[in-house]
Amino acid sequence: MIKIIINEQQSGRISSFEMKGHADFAEHGKDLVCAGASAVSFGAVNAVIALTGITPDIHQGSDGGYLKVEFPVTEKDDEIQLIVKAMIVSLQTIEQDYGQHIKLIFNR
């Protein structure tokens, strides 16, 4: 199962997210849940960089089963937060259909 831990401050600001594990929905290369979660998360991180010019602190595992992204507070924080919250909505949509393979956990 892919677990996505979202660290949210009392203000609602997302300070970081961490994805770990494998969906095990299908064999490697044909796993729709993994592909969807990866596309959404990496797309959001790439959008943050491309659209705001801010590069968050990114940590990846060597086997592809781990990603942690920490968002610094900057003058572009509102833009970053919108992108990150859109990512969360997309991941929740995947979770609705494939909840046995992907789980979002909010630390508030």
Name the residue ranges covered by the structural domains of the chain.
Answer: 2-107
Task: Please tell me the pTM assigned to this model.
Answer: 0.93
Amino acid 34: pLDDT:
93
Amino acid 67: pLDDT:
97
- By CB atoms closer than 10 A (0-12, 13-18, 19+), residue 44 is buried
Q: Tokens for 3? A: 């677990």
Those residues whose C-beta lies under 8 Å from the C-beta of residue 104, and which sit 6 or more positions away, are 4, 6, 88, 91, 92, 95
Low-confidence ranges of the chain (pLDDT < 70): none
Could you tell me the CA-to-CA distances from 22 to 11, 26, 92, 104 in Å, in that order? 31, 10, 17, 14
Catalytic residues: 22, 34
CATH of domain 2-107: 3.30.70.1490
